[in-house]
Structure 1
Amino acid sequence: MPDFYTLYLIVLIAGLSHCVLWAAILYRYRTLPGVRYWLTGSVAHVVGGILLAIDGGIGNFATTVGGNAVACLAFHLNTVGLRRFHGDRPRWALHAGLLAASIMAMALTWQPWWGQNPLYVTSQCIPLVLAALYLARRRTRELGALITMSALASAITAHGIVACAVTVRLSGIAPDVSLVSLAAIDLLVFILAGIIWNFGFLVSVVDSLMAKVERLAAEDDLTGLPNRRQFMRQLTGECARGAAEPFSVMLMDLDRFKGINDGLGHMAGDAALKHVADAVRRIIRPADVFARLGGDEFGILLRGVQGDAAGRIAEQANAALRASPFLWRGERIGLTISIGVTSAVPGRHHMPEELIECADSALYVTKGRKRDGWTFLPFASRPNFGAGHAGGAKATRLPDRASRIPLAG
């Protein structure tokens, strides 16, 4: 069994490795919440390890109490960092009060040596219990959180066993219990647990960064709406279900967008697109997918609606923009949108492209008639374009059956 001097050196080395890890991550991702607290906690671990290694089990008041107090500070900082990482308040008053009480208790029990160990391990366990309870209340299945909770539980259990063993021996129930061996095993378990919960923090950081990348890959930079990739993914999912539930596809263009760009500049054009996104977003239901497909074109996947119900939502979109004037540098500019809508045929396995083509055809009917309105084109009435035609490019040449297309607005 290694002596405590060696174990404290291991604490020091583990703390240094964590310092390198969190310093590198903080340098690379300065705005990532929680990391600066984990780095500060690792520095505190190093300081605690140095003090305890200097003490080497001699029992000096300053090094023993100081080293354990700094170790407690490190665990409190880990818990604060965990809360900040997940976007919650750090609860400084609680942690400061608990740390102050722990230091006072360790200082007051310095002379009666038998009180030191249970108080030391209890003081270190308190912030770990707070961290474990915090993660448990979140009921998350995120891998990093599960790794962290497992490591925290191991550390708390190891410390709890030692505290119980000291109490049992001092009470005379089991006077032959080897506290030195037990304490050494406890410290080894605690060092390993510390490495593992820092690894859990790291896994959480990686998952967070990956989620951010995925979100950016599926989000339009200008409007904050889902982009074409995300829209097609959602539409493909609906089509794969074979239209078991009704759904409709709506495409919309901002009318005379080129005139805004050419006459007022691209900044005005960008502002106009954001204005359209904000106005239409207010009438979209949570289950729907409202996306910017590119340029001045937007798409909406309407779940659970068909036909007339989809048309009513299109009319609401037109009305929402009419009721929301666009102001550019003090000038009021009227914005309108042209909309094309189609609905999936119940029980049919659609291809996403054919529904978009049909909605695009309806959109061009609206543009060819008067703009600022909407057209519903039943899927069965879609024009039969041959290979090589852009969807809706010749929608004004609809067959006679398309005369039944209802126009609104």
Structure 2
Amino acid sequence: MTLDPATLNVAFVLLALVLGGLLVFAWTVNRNVRALLSWGAAFCLVATGFAVANLGRSSGSYSALLIGNVFGLLSYVALYAGCRIFNGRKGVPLVALTGVVLWSAAFPFIYERQDYRLILVALTTGVYSLLSAWELWRYAGQPLASQRFAVVLLVLLAVFNTVRIWPAVSSTSISWFDALAHRWSSEMALFLVVFTPSLAFIFLSMAKESVELGYKLAALVDPLTGIPNRRAFMQNAGELTASMHGKPVSCLVLDLDNFKSINDRYGHDVGDAVLTLFGQVLSRHLPPKSFGRLGGEEFAAILPMNMECAAALGEAVRDEFSRAGKAVLGAGAEVTVSVGCSASSDATVEMLLHEADIALYRAKDRGRNIVVSSAGSRVSA
């Protein structure tokens, strides 16, 4: 089958423009994924650069080669910027423009040497591709399957760009390597026509997977305190108890004392601040995923330890919260928490919560601001 280079080149330019437009459109639909705008710009820039460079190739236009490759290199800068933005990293360092500046400065001296131009562009784009792959792999903020595949594609792009320098540095001729060194060859255009939509599809998949994961995580996080909500707590607690295999598991149920009076006296904004403060205290003392907000001013924790150790943690939480609350509301304020503790080596999460809840009621009856075990004995005051 004979492939017409001119037709393939036109097809690639149009394809890249369409894909860039689709990525930008996807960004307008979901502006939370700002990386889509940068990636869309990258596709539009590479299409523009490819078109400009090819328009000037027959005449060897100085300006067309200079500007076309500047657009092409800027597309890689936008690609790298999109990867940083996707990972939630702020800004793009000025050093990212080094390749563009280097090409612009060197071009007057290498204009007559196609092999030098090829080496400079291929190495620069290869470095940009590797930086983009490294960014997605090293600084991934979410465990996305599509992101790992994007890393593979970007590494492949780096290899492709690096291979293009072969004819310029070796006297040995390899037909495909030689063909890939020329942007207007059939092989080069065919590779781009196949590779480009694959990369665009992966970027869209990353955005979709990221949004879906964000919704899933939001459904498991209490929006006020930022700690796991009841649903997440029950899920994490069930996984923990199932993995203990007969080892002791303890449960703490923690309820802020006289919380209604705090809301009535200081206002709901202060009440929300107190709840947030308590979530922070729990985060400092308890293992991740072991605790959560059950609702209102009630919290709970499931811990892989015996009752004595769990009660000691409950006491540490009670003591710090009392001191931290006074620092927020004033020394005369009563900001305390009562804690009920239970333990078992074979009970379900529901049974542990029930027993700890009974102990919590005993703590309330005994004056609040204490930790009480499910056996009814007062652990601390």
TM-score, reference length from structure 2: 0.86
Residues 280, 83 of structure 1: alpha-carbon distance in 2 compared, 3 angstrom cutoff? closer
What is the alpha-carbon distance in structure 2 between the residues aligned to residue 268 and residue 306 of structure 1? 35
User: What does 1:326-341 correspond to in 2, within 5 Å?
Assistant: 326=326, 332-341=332-341
User: What does 1:152-231 correspond to in 2, within 5 Å?
Assistant: 152-168=154-170, 171=171, 173-174=172-173, 179=178, 183=182, 184=185, 185-231=187-233
What is the alpha-carbon distance in structure 2 between the residues aligned to residue 181 and residue 99 of structure 1? 22
Alignment equivalent of 1:353, drawn from 335, 350, 353: 350
Could you tell me which amino acid in structure 2 is paired with residue 16 of structure 1?
L
Alignment check: 8 A CA contact 1:275 1:326 kept: no
What is the alpha-carbon distance in structure 1 between the residues aligned to residue 361 and residue 162 of structure 2? 73
Shift of residue 332, structure 1, vs aligned partner:
4.8
Alignment check: 8 A CA contact 1:219 1:225 kept: yes
Structure 2 equivalent of residue 65 of structure 1: 66
Moved more, 249-258 or 80-89: 80-89
User: What does 1:74-113 correspond to in 2, within 5 Å?
Assistant: 74-88=75-89, 92-113=93-114
Shift of residue 344, structure 1, vs aligned partner:
1.8
Give CA-to-partner distance per residue, 1:335-369, whole Å, 9 cap, x none.
11111100122xx2x22111111111111111122
Alignment check: 8 A CA contact 1:152 1:193 kept: no
Could you tell me which amino acid in structure 1 is paired with residue 348 of structure 2?
M
Could you tell me which amino acid in structure 1 is paired with residue 352 of structure 2?
L
What is the alpha-carbon distance in structure 2 between the residues aligned to residue 31 and residue 5 of structure 1? 39
Could you tell me which amino acid in structure 2 is paired with residue 228 of structure 1?
R
Residues 20, 244 of structure 1: alpha-carbon distance in 2 compared, 3 angstrom cutoff? farther
Alignment check: 8 A CA contact 2:274 2:325 kept: no
What is the alpha-carbon distance in structure 2 between the residues aligned to residue 177 and residue 325 of structure 1? 71
Structure 1 equivalent of residue 380 of structure 2: 408
Give CA-to-partner distance per residue, 1:63-107, whole Å, 9 cap, x none.
233212211110122012212322346553322222211233344
Count of aligned pairs: 376
Structure 1 equivalent of residue 371 of structure 2: 374
Could you tell me which amino acid in structure 2 is paired with residue 30 of structure 1?
R
What is the alpha-carbon distance in structure 1 between the residues aligned to residue 348 and residue 175 of structure 2? 77
Residues 2, 159 of structure 1: alpha-carbon distance in 2 compared, 3 angstrom cutoff? farther
Q: Name the SS for the 2:372 alignment partner.
A: strand
RMSD (Å) for aligned C-alpha atoms: 3.0
What is the alpha-carbon distance in structure 1 between the residues aligned to residue 112 and residue 71 of structure 2? 20
Q: Name the SS for the 1:324 alignment partner.
A: helix
Unmatched 5+ stretches in structure 1 = 379-401
Moved more, 322-331 or 359-368: 322-331
Give CA-to-partner distance per residue, 1:295-337, whole Å, 9 cap, x none.
110111222x212222222222221122223467879521111
Residues 302, 145 of structure 1: alpha-carbon distance in 2 compared, 3 angstrom cutoff? same
Structure 2 equivalent of residue 272 of structure 1: 274
Identity of aligned residues (%): 22
Structure 1 equivalent of residue 147 of structure 2: 145
Moved more, 353-362 or 23-32: 23-32
Shift of residue 187, structure 1, vs aligned partner:
3.2
Are residue 315 (structure 1) and residue 315 (structure 2) matched? yes
Q: Name the SS for the 2:294 alignment partner.
A: strand
Residues 84, 353 of structure 1: alpha-carbon distance in 2 compared, 3 angstrom cutoff? same
Are residue 291 (structure 1) and residue 288 (structure 2) matched? no
Between structure 1 and structure 2, the one with the greater Rg is: 1
Residues 16, 268 of structure 1: alpha-carbon distance in 2 compared, 3 angstrom cutoff? same
What is the alpha-carbon distance in structure 2 between the residues aligned to residue 108 and residue 21 of structure 1? 39
Shift of residue 250, structure 1, vs aligned partner:
0.3
What is the alpha-carbon distance in structure 2 between the residues aligned to residue 113 and residue 310 of structure 1? 72
Shift of residue 57, structure 1, vs aligned partner:
4.2
Structure 2 equivalent of residue 130 of structure 1: 131
What is the alpha-carbon distance in structure 1 between the residues aligned to residue 232 and residue 74 of structure 2? 45
Could you tell me which amino acid in structure 2 is paired with residue 61 of structure 1?
Y
What is the alpha-carbon distance in structure 2 between the residues aligned to residue 408 and residue 146 of structure 1? 50
Alignment check: 8 A CA contact 2:233 2:292 kept: yes
What is the alpha-carbon distance in structure 1 between the residues aligned to residue 278 and residue 121 of structure 2? 61
Q: Name the SS for the 1:293 alignment partner.
A: strand
Alignment check: 8 A CA contact 2:236 2:289 kept: no
Alignment check: 8 A CA contact 2:13 2:50 kept: yes
Give CA-to-partner distance per residue, 1:163-192, whole Å, 9 cap, x none.
313544xx4x54999945874213321343
Residues 175, 251 of structure 1: alpha-carbon distance in 2 compared, 3 angstrom cutoff? closer
Residues 154, 191 of structure 1: alpha-carbon distance in 2 compared, 3 angstrom cutoff? farther
Could you tell me which amino acid in structure 1 is paired with residue 56 of structure 2?
D
What is the alpha-carbon distance in structure 2 between the residues aligned to residue 158 and residue 232 of structure 1? 49
Q: Name the SS for the 2:111 alignment partner.
A: coil
Q: Name the SS for the 1:372 alignment partner.
A: coil
Alignment check: 8 A CA contact 1:41 1:75 kept: yes
Residues 137, 310 of structure 1: alpha-carbon distance in 2 compared, 3 angstrom cutoff? closer
